[in-house]
Amino acid sequence: MNAPPIIGIQNLSRQSEDGVPLLSPTQLDVFPGNRLGIVGESGSGKTLLLRSLAALDPIQSGELRFHGRAVHGNQVPPYRASVVYLPQRPVLFEGTVESNLQLPFQLKSNADRQYDQRRIESWLEALGRNATFLSKNQENLSGGEMQIVALLRAIQIEPQVLLLDEPTAALDAGLTTSVERLVDCWFNESKQQAAFVWITHSMNQAERVCDTLYLMDSGRLRLHISNQEAD
């Protein structure tokens, strides 16, 4: 890679209150254009690692960097506007799909961005849905539809890095395909040469949506294979 990494962690480690290692010292760089997959069982440390990349958990040891600069203090809010974390079970607020999509633009960190209904409708069209979906109340959404709304809410602010925490683990095959397609649409349309990190239990899914794969086991991260190199 000639370009510098967008985000990176150096010697990141974490342990429980009683001293049990949860994450071994870990290095990971995320470059523009990366489609990184991290595969591991429950309890392997995948979510701990992703939440550290999202600056959602305090770093006990090591360093998180954004475009070469350490992230801490008042740099965290703008960092989170550029590096967006999508949990497995998203939270939506009362109201319609559209009102939930408009919420991020009320934040100070997104003051220079505007809600673009046409763009949202184009993504919905790619998923086989029309604009009437925007008027649905969040109380009437299925779990899969909630995940789609949360994903739309994340990608519309054009993050530089999208962090996906098993976003399809509870979805059927059809909705899983919809989520994968939506991430692919955003990635290909990105004007910032974005990147994503996708954690999953499924090696098949990781090989399908990612270019470079890592395995996570007992808090240890190791490179598995690059699909591009395998070709």
CB atoms within 10 A of CB 125: 11
Question: Among all chains, which residue has been given the structure tokens 């604009």?
Answer: 131
CA–CA dist 84, 107 (Å, integer) = 14
- 199 in Cβ contact with 50 (< 8 Å): yes
Instruction: For residue range 9-52, list pLDDT tens digits in order.
Output: 999 998 888 888 889 999 999 999 999 999 999 889 999 999 99
Instruction: For residue range 87-110, list pLDDT tens digits in order.
Output: 988 899 999 999 999 999 988 888
CA–CA dist 88, 170 (Å, integer) = 8
- 29 in Cβ contact with 5 (< 8 Å): yes
* pLDDT score for 191: 66
* pLDDT score for 226: 52
Q: Which residues of the chain have pLDDT under 50?
A: 1, 227-231
* pLDDT score for 228: 47
The verdict on pTM exceeding 0.85 is yes
* pLDDT score for 230: 47
What's phi and psi for 107, nearest 5 deg?
A: -80, 145
| Helical segments of the chain, H only | 46-53, 76-82, 97-102, 117-126, 143-155, 173-189, 203-209, 227-230
